[in-house]
Structure 1
């Protein structure tokens, strides 16, 4: 007879029959349905069972039709092809256990909010379909006709940036899909008059995989399902797509097409140096291969109202705008990424552009100065068609100006936005509480300031660079970082600063501070200096060409013996065989991979590989509440998780046990009313770490780490001959890659680090002889 019952322990010598299962029903289909459900819900762990085989048997058409015979097993090999179980609950428990014991590395050492505001999710009528919105108009009119319609509208139209640039600018693009999806249907019904929702692209493509364990395409599709009526808008970095490198034309082209098919409606396309040739491929693809809108951007910098400004004058912007209209733009964006376009400049620029071009003008700015709302209102007076704003509790400082206040100020005016201010205020209460969950990353200054007009740092970069500086031990030297950023920009020729060019300025600033070098002394550095890879890319012309070109002396030092690229980078980049790349990914990660995986991999190969490893280990963590994702659970705390429609997990932490002699702690959870134990290695229980040897700066045979970082790869081996300038290793620190080069000719005598090791500045990495 069967020996198993609920809670029984199975020894290695168990009888082959554990449980007998009998189901009945008024007819065979109902009896089979009950049998199938009983098998699915049975949990026997630690030993293999025949449950998958039995599930295949009762689902087979011959068995269902009552035609099965004793030879069924012999003639039906498909019965032994088992589907891999998702085992989602086990993997989520594994993740929660890891965070409870070892903390999420992003918030390590930072306390959980002790008394957060109560979360008030705004209400809507779920029985009503979403009202007709701008996306419905675009799909019915087509892009060209829709563009003309926008130009003819009298009300000021608004893009809400809360779901992308606002959180990127306030807390380093860390907002999770979970918090967006909670209010998605509210937005679709109560705020259907919005022009668009900026919710994708920019840095969020990278950070969703790198820091949140989320697939960016899944976020797009899930939000699209809940918000079918409002235009979705993304930020596309021209030939850089959503990455930091310059991609081949066919990759950019197919990425745009795939993103449009996944649900993207408005592509705001820009180049970080206003180098228009880098926009051609993306613009042409949007206009000719998709149903989406091509919104081409002019990046704003400087102050053309200043009589001393010689480079970025009003004529500069007008000429760029006219050329972009000729290139097929449906809408022109003024991308004021640092908030430098003060009220007088905004009014004059918009008025001039409206007279010079026939397409709508969309004004984007940041409130780093504290007066950007005035710029928006002046732009409105001058006839701007669309403006970017953020819900009040997610607005201000490095984010966009206050949407709620602007909507209220214009409510009885000719250019009233038509938005429901009460709905905006309800939404603001929700985001106010949610924002507290991200307080470890919320490094935006609490007020605006005039210094932004001097350092010109983009709002979207401010929190990212500050987080990077803190991670590298430079948190207390932030004023020095800002000062050096400004000096580096002047050193490079006062360039347009927006990702990825702004990242290059920030990387060089961090690099110089960690090495103790003043920007004015950069030209005195030796040729073998391992500058950040982003800066070498910039000086090589791989991101395009700035107005007036690069300072020759700076370019020569950074490039060493390398030759700069001439012309548009994408034109000379070798075409990537997408079919072959797809086969590679399927071979590595299985046949269920899709084009979502392909393009995520092409944008960020290393980040994508890490993301897949994370997913394989922990599953889809996007379903976890945000506090649980960052901090885990406290003993006695319970959460509910909807892993799919109609399937909810109830998880409660009961106990965290003491570590064994190997440092492994048992954690006891209650999962849907049943006890489950997860074992987690406590990483804090270690022996004394041995200090790394420091390099002797006077010894050319010592190759040192220039900055605190992680070893990303080793490009040599012990006993190998190297020449001066040969690549020997690559370091990575908060998205900044730095290559180490041999400082002298010699033989590799010792490699003192391994891939994945952390090193401090001046640590000895490789010894030559």
Structure 2
């Protein structure tokens, strides 16, 4: 919905119809379902029910902190829906390193014991950063196999450092039943280890997969062509080979490219090496977390905040009471995603939170049930009676994204009819294209010319539609960035409040003439799913507000947000 403007449920339905006899598996973030926040318990149960009805089979249930109460809720929801429950322990650290014993072998075995007691059908190790080495694979999987001889064991990893095939072979030798791989042309680096390599290395051994290498080659050739279409988003834009620095920064494979894209959009693209170093420091600041969505996002948000504001770990600890830290960091310290193993970092938590409320125990336990009937009625009143149960579920999980998705479709129609290159890059001038809306209904489009940029950052796009001349105004986002002009906050004027990072103003919490206290929230900025609350550096009266939500403007770092006359 967010990037492709497609209905994920429809995609699942179409895939299920085409692939009726292969089990489908999805990730379920425990009590966080498929979001970055907590949902009422009945919403998690309902989501699993709708997913199962639409063709999902196996639910890999995990929690970003390995917080057992969150995991147990997700397992119960998946099991109640009739799904196969695969409880996944998120792996971090190194069980083979005696110097790194916060997440020891005993820690993983005790957690596995609780999950097996709870009735998991499959036990999984989710090595999201690719930190498993052959020796740690032997130790961990061997110990799990000895403790639970009858439970299927599934291992998931990423190949960021280049040791993925070796680690998965060690897991298989130690007793794992399933290891995750990716077809050759889509494997390696932040993806999974090579399927062809695993098939070839086990050929003729007791671990023989029975998969034909010739078929792997044919399959790989198809995806090699498909991968070329997504070149601008490929990790190879930033990684040319495996990066063993992942053993230090522990950035999950699924976050690595997102983090780079996010850093680039915030003007930190040329400082990505610094962002990676800051990621390791941010992780230590937060108490050495298990890092997987959404906890990995919290660490990434803090890392980028540190680089953006030239802050060291020691400076963040020292100045924590004064800093406008990313909202995700503040909410984590409040307890919004659960309780981390070993507890919250102090005195950082007390300095940041001050008088903010703290959540004890499972965060979603106190949320009232979601009224699905009322939500459906509201959606039908807004979008018409064609709203499906799946739409209701999408709106329950991602209310803002669903609204933007429906608004986009109402304005532009079904863009999934466009081929991949056209959707991502647009047509070339004088190029003729055909778009099939449905069988027997094809649009013939020819791009003719682009107009000049107007005062509000739009261009006229001229084209022919079925032989008729048409024009439409399109916002030129790149040109708007280049035309950006906004006064900067002066560093030596305490009452001038500048943006701590680039972003869009999504909420203004004060008005001109209002009295504010030091540390009081003034506004919220958002950039690539990262939100930051800007707090007042002084006590005083708001003299002037320079931004508005309605203007839809994007600020750069240090752009002036408002002025405060100090008391």
Kindly report which structure 2 residues correspond to 1:22-171, keeping only aligned pairs within 5 A, or say none. none
Tell me the equivalent position of 1:330: 121
- Structure 1 position 300 matched with structure 2 position 91: yes
1:679 to 461, 465, 472: 472
SS at match of 2:144: helix
| C-alpha contact (below 8 Å) 1:634/1:653 kept by paired residues | no
- Structure 1 position 649 matched with structure 2 position 445: no
| C-alpha contact (below 8 Å) 2:427/2:447 kept by paired residues | no
| C-alpha contact (below 8 Å) 1:443/1:467 kept by paired residues | no
Q: Which deviations, in whole Å up to 9, do the C-alpha atoms of 1:611-656 show, x marking residues without a partner?
A: 1211111112122111000111123434443433x23525342522
1:594, distance to aligned residue in structure 2 (A): 2.2
Q: Which deviations, in whole Å up to 9, do the C-alpha atoms of 1:409-429 show, x marking residues without a partner?
A: 323333322223323222211
Tell me the equivalent position of 2:57: 265
Bigger RCO (CA 8 Å, 6+ sep) = 1
1:392, distance to aligned residue in structure 2 (A): 0.5
Tell me the equivalent position of 2:464: 669
2:169 to 341, 358, 377: 377
Kindly report which structure 2 residues correspond to 1:503-652, keeping only aligned pairs within 5 A, or say none. 503-525=297-319, 527-644=321-438, 646-652=439-445
1 CA distance for matches of 2:417 and 2:157?
33
Tell me the equivalent position of 1:81: none
CA 682–639 in structure 1, closer or farther in 2 if over 3 Å, else same:
same
Kindly report which structure 2 residues correspond to 1:249-264, keeping only aligned pairs within 5 A, or say none. 249-264=41-56
1 CA distance for matches of 2:210 and 2:17?
25
| C-alpha contact (below 8 Å) 2:29/2:74 kept by paired residues | no
Tell me the equivalent position of 1:707: 501
1 CA distance for matches of 2:529 and 2:183?
29
| C-alpha contact (below 8 Å) 1:700/1:744 kept by paired residues | yes
Tell me the equivalent position of 1:430: 222
| C-alpha contact (below 8 Å) 2:432/2:447 kept by paired residues | no
5+ unaligned residues in a row in structure 1: which ranges?
Answer: 1-208
Kindly report which structure 2 residues correspond to 1:375-454, keeping only aligned pairs within 5 A, or say none. 375-444=167-236, 445-454=239-248
- Structure 1 position 457 matched with structure 2 position 237: no
Aligned residues: 557
Q: Which deviations, in whole Å up to 9, do the C-alpha atoms of 1:580-625 show, x marking residues without a partner?
A: 2222222222222223222222222222222121111111212211
2 CA distance for matches of 1:356 and 1:638?
64
Tell me the equivalent position of 2:13: 221
CA 664–346 in structure 1, closer or farther in 2 if over 3 Å, else same:
closer
1:494, distance to aligned residue in structure 2 (A): 1.2
1 CA distance for matches of 2:363 and 2:454?
57
CA 245–356 in structure 1, closer or farther in 2 if over 3 Å, else same:
same
1:700, distance to aligned residue in structure 2 (A): 3.8
2 CA distance for matches of 1:526 and 1:298?
32
Tell me the equivalent position of 1:761: 557
2 CA distance for matches of 1:277 and 1:690?
47
2:74 to 255, 272, 282: 282
- Structure 1 position 240 matched with structure 2 position 35: no
2 CA distance for matches of 1:412 and 1:594?
51
| C-alpha contact (below 8 Å) 2:190/2:235 kept by paired residues | no
CA 686–436 in structure 1, closer or farther in 2 if over 3 Å, else same:
closer
CA 698–304 in structure 1, closer or farther in 2 if over 3 Å, else same:
same
SS at match of 1:552: coil
Structure-2-length-normalised TM-score? 0.93
The CA RMSD measured in Å over matched residues stands at 2.2
| C-alpha contact (below 8 Å) 2:183/2:219 kept by paired residues | yes
| C-alpha contact (below 8 Å) 2:95/2:139 kept by paired residues | no
2 CA distance for matches of 1:686 and 1:518?
33
2 CA distance for matches of 1:227 and 1:393?
22
2 CA distance for matches of 1:211 and 1:686?
20
CA 423–480 in structure 1, closer or farther in 2 if over 3 Å, else same:
same
2 CA distance for matches of 1:682 and 1:259?
37
SS at match of 1:389: coil
Q: Which deviations, in whole Å up to 9, do the C-alpha atoms of 1:202-249 show, x marking residues without a partner?
A: xxxxxxx22211222222122112111111111111111111112221
SS at match of 2:60: strand
Q: Which deviations, in whole Å up to 9, do the C-alpha atoms of 1:143-185 show, x marking residues without a partner?
A: xxxxxxxxxxxxxxxxxxxxxxxxxxxxxxxxxxxxxxxxxxx
Q: Which deviations, in whole Å up to 9, do the C-alpha atoms of 1:479-512 show, x marking residues without a partner?
A: 1111111111112221111111111000000011
- Structure 1 position 724 matched with structure 2 position 518: yes
- More displaced, 579-588 or 511-520? 579-588
Tell me the equivalent position of 1:75: none
Larger Rg: 1
2 CA distance for matches of 1:659 and 1:383?
65
1:314 to 105, 116, 121: 105
1 CA distance for matches of 2:335 and 2:463?
56
SS at match of 2:358: coil
1:753, distance to aligned residue in structure 2 (A): 1.1
- More displaced, 460-469 or 659-668? 659-668
Tell me the equivalent position of 1:359: 151
CA 244–447 in structure 1, closer or farther in 2 if over 3 Å, else same:
same
Tell me the equivalent position of 2:288: 494
Structure-1-length-normalised TM-score? 0.69
